[in-house]
Amino acid sequence: MTFPARLDEGYRAFLGDRFVRERARFERVAARQRPEVMVIGCCDSRVSPEVIFDAHPGEIFVARNVANLVPPYETAGLYHGASAAVEFAVRGLQVKHIVVLGHARCGGIQAFARGATPLASGDFIGNWLSLIAPAAERVAPGIEGRERLHRLELATVELSLSNLMTFPWVRALVEQGGLKLHGAHFGVGDGVLLVRDTASGEFRRLVG
């Protein structure tokens, strides 16, 4: 058996410690999950929503993809993993909050900004990252380097929030007050969480 050693070790540690401490919780959520929050994050290995928000099993419904993108609502294509996750969370689980979580030093954002190969010419990534184009248009010209990437990371979060509102059942619930949308950005190196103010659109540090 060639199961990755790190996962083997991690599971054994989990089974002997956390699972023992939280067994009652696991038994409860095994019957039914009812999270109030959905987090749409990046699949970057450094940005785990469950770790960042110190979440217990069953508390957060997480969907992750390259660059934490939500595509606009459309039904013409065949494969809609991100859209299906949103539909299940909103219509199936009836979550009360959706958080789009961007992060610093996002490889997908960097690949789009630099037209990096081989990612930009891959079978899937280049097409997926083309969704970022409207966000790039929101970043003021003349800003370059790390600051441009940071602003593009924030603009991509805002784009995903805007795209969520193109889903008719999301918009209806938001307008009725039954669903709230939030934007956030996590600093991988410094742990700083920026949260988007819904009134001003500004991203502000949550703590400190």
The answer to whether the beta carbons of residues 87 and 170 sit under 8 Å apart is no
Nearest-angstrom CA–CA distance, 183 and 97: 11
Selected catalytic residue, list 17, 32, 34, 44: 44
Selected catalytic residue, list 42, 150, 185, 196: 42
Nearest-angstrom CA–CA distance, 116 and 46: 21
Selected catalytic residue, list 8, 18, 56, 106: 106
Active site residue 8: no
Active site residue 182: no
The most distant pair of C-alpha atoms in the chain lies apart, rounded to whole Å, by: 55
Active site residue 123: no
CA–CA distances in Å: residue 166 to residues 2, 53, 175: 45, 28, 12
Nearest-angstrom CA–CA distance, 151 and 61: 27
Main-chain phi, psi angles of 157, to 5 degrees: -60, -45
Active site residue 54: no
SS3 state of residue 140: coil
Selected catalytic residue, list 25, 28, 46, 182: 46
Active site residue 103: yes
CA–CA distances in Å: residue 89 to residues 36, 63, 92, 138: 9, 10, 6, 29
Selected catalytic residue, list 103, 150, 185, 196: 103
SS3 state of residue 95: coil
Give catalytic residues, as residue numbers.
Answer: 42, 44, 46, 103, 106
